[in-house]
Amino acid sequence: MDKELIIGAIDSSSDGILISDNQGYVVYLNDAYEETTGLTRKELVGNSLNDLLEAGIINKALSLTVIKDKKRVSTIHKYVSGKSALTTASPIMDSKNELIGVVSNTRNITDLINLRNELSDTRKLTIKYSEEIRRLREQVIEDKDFIYSSKEMDKTVRLASRVARYDTTVLIHGESGTGKEVLAKFIHTGSPRNEEPFIKVNCAAIPKDLFESELFGYEGGAFTGAGKEGKPGMFELANGGTILLDEIGELPLPVQSKLLRVIQERELFRVGGKEPINLDVRILAATNRDLKQEVLDGNFREDLFFRLNVIPITIPPLRDRREDIPELIVYFLEKLNRKYKRTVTISPKATEALTSHTWPGNVRELENLIEYLFIMSNKEEVNIEDLPTKIISRQMMNSTEILENSEEAKLTYLLELYEKYIIKDTMENFPSLRKAAKALGVHPSTLSRKLKKYNIEVKLEEE
Ligand SMILES: Nc1ncnc2c1ncn2[C@@H]1O[C@H](COP(=O)(O)OP(=O)(O)O)[C@@H](O)[C@H]1O
Ligand SMILES: [Mg+2]
């Protein structure tokens, strides 16, 4: 065997190689080994690994484990020099299967470890950012159309578009479900900040103890459980753009003071933070409460009220702008039709009934009802009898054809109307006239007569 070739090969190997005999004495090592481990030939060759361990020149000797167990072992090891390497030590056996030595192979993985640490740091950052994006997404109101045709809303919208392009604070007032959020979004969209974030804060949804950190953020380690990196608050996330303080009437008094400070100074401190953060945020606030009254009752700071109430905009309740109702009905139906690829329409009589309803829950209630009707109707047209009775009875009471009749006739009419609905409903749920009559507790001939009277068509199975 060409000894020179073999020694040459070992010396040229890019892996560090150390050979020891079966007593644990170092016999040979190559340049790469010196480089990888920071140990030198001078320190090692001819010495026993046990002695080297004792002297502290090395801090681990994998080869001694191999001599004991006669099995290959691998480990990631940090040498005395501080360098890290992946080391594999393998037994060298002779032809009689006796152990004659150990060859230890080390590969520099400092770069690999750095890379791994970097990766783990990056992962942590990614988690942090995606958490922030998730929070942002929750706050960003999706783009929605703004539907109206009434004079009342026209006034409101005109005012809103006039103030949109100024950075002025706007206080939007209106009953729940009237479209305060939609209007706020409309103002942001019409402003020069429309490419910047629009962040909504629902003051009614934030637990009292979390207000400060949610709005203003916190520095790492500001309180127990605060996390190492800290977190920006909603104001910081909205920086450059617009913030909507929704349900501002729910803001606790101590937070009101802090908010006032932030609005006045145009800067904020994170909880536990020492550096002020400059703020360039346009503030919109919305409430269904009478804030003036809240001020009188001592629940809302007067100075904050004046700061917010620079431009007050009121959205009238839906019952005060009934002209919008038919438009909204068509708009919501069309949206559902597009989404579910159906062609559901609504009859004029049903639209009329919905238009005369009082809508205490305003547009939100109307939107929910349309969705309900869309789902429940198996026909392609929603008719008046599909509407909830509380809406129909009101419509019937108001409609002119009944108004002309006497009080008693009105009641009779309504009772008959209910009777018709009850029978219709029962007929849809029972397969035969006899069974339906039994369920209603009337004679089948009575039911049959009423079916004729009310002109109710039924598909009956053979009895
Ligand atoms: N003018 C409108 N056009 C279209 N949708 C509207 C309109 N006003 C309200 N909505 C819808 O009604 C629902 C309630 O509106 P929202 O702005 O959340 O009311 P508020 O904040 O006043 O309680 C939302 O789904 C919104 O999209
Ligand atoms: Mg709202």
The CATH number of residue 403's host domain is: 1.10.10.60
Please work out whether the CB of residue 317 comes within 6 Å of at least one atom of ligand 1.
no
Domain termination residue (choose one: 316, 342, 375):
316
For ligand 1, atom 13: residue with the closest CA: 364
Measured CA to CA in angstroms, residue 259 lies from 159, 233, 253, 256, 284 at distances of: 26, 13, 10, 5, 13
Domain termination residue (choose one: 392, 416, 440):
392
Same-domain check for residues 147 and 285: yes
What is the distance in A from the centroid of ligand 1 to the CA of 233? 26
Same-domain check for residues 286 and 159: yes
117 found inside a domain: no
Please work out whether the CB of residue 367 comes within 6 Å of at least one atom of ligand 1.
yes
Please work out whether the CB of residue 435 comes within 6 Å of at least one atom of ligand 1.
no
Tell me the C-alpha distance between 348 and 354, whole Å. Answer: 10
What is the distance in A from the centroid of ligand 1 to the CA of 177? 6
Same-domain check for residues 285 and 233: yes
What is the distance in A from the centroid of ligand 2 to the CA of 174? 9
Same-domain check for residues 290 and 322: no
127 found inside a domain: no
Ligand 1 atom having least distance to the Cα of 184: 17
Please work out whether the CB of residue 335 comes within 6 Å of at least one atom of ligand 1.
no
Ligand 1 atom having least distance to the Cα of 367: 12
Tell me the C-alpha distance between 17 and 251, whole Å. Answer: 70
Q: What is the CA radius of gyration of the chain?
A: 40
120 found inside a domain: no
114 found inside a domain: no
Ligand 1 atom having least distance to the Cα of 331: 4
Tell me the C-alpha distance between 211 and 430, whole Å. Answer: 56
132 found inside a domain: no
- pLDDT tens, per residue, the chain with 463 residues: 788 898 899 899 888 999 999 999 999 999 999 988 889 999 999 999 999 999 988 888 889 999 999 999 988 888 888 888 888 999 999 999 999 999 999 988 777 778 888 888 888 777 777 766 766 665 555 556 789 999 999 999 999 999 999 999 999 999 999 999 999 999 999 999 988 889 999 998 888 888 888 999 988 876 666 666 788 889 999 989 999 999 999 999 989 999 999 999 999 999 888 889 999 999 999 999 999 999 999 999 999 999 999 999 999 999 999 999 999 999 999 999 999 999 999 999 899 889 988 899 999 999 999 999 999 888 889 988 888 877 776 666 665 554 455 566 667 777 787 788 788 878 877 878 899 999 999 999 999 999 888 878 776 654 4
131 found inside a domain: no
pLDDT at 140: 56
Same-domain check for residues 78 and 96: yes
285 found inside a domain: yes
Cβ(188)–Cβ(284) below 8 Å: yes
Same-domain check for residues 256 and 295: yes
Instruction: Domain of residue 242: give its range.
Output: 140-316
Domain termination residue (choose one: 343, 371, 392):
392
Same-domain check for residues 379 and 327: yes
pTM given for the model: 0.62
Domain count, the chain: 4
pLDDT at 460: 62
What is the distance in A from the centroid of ligand 2 to the CA of 177? 6
Same-domain check for residues 333 and 429: no
Same-domain check for residues 346 and 307: no
Same-domain check for residues 174 and 216: yes
248 found inside a domain: yes
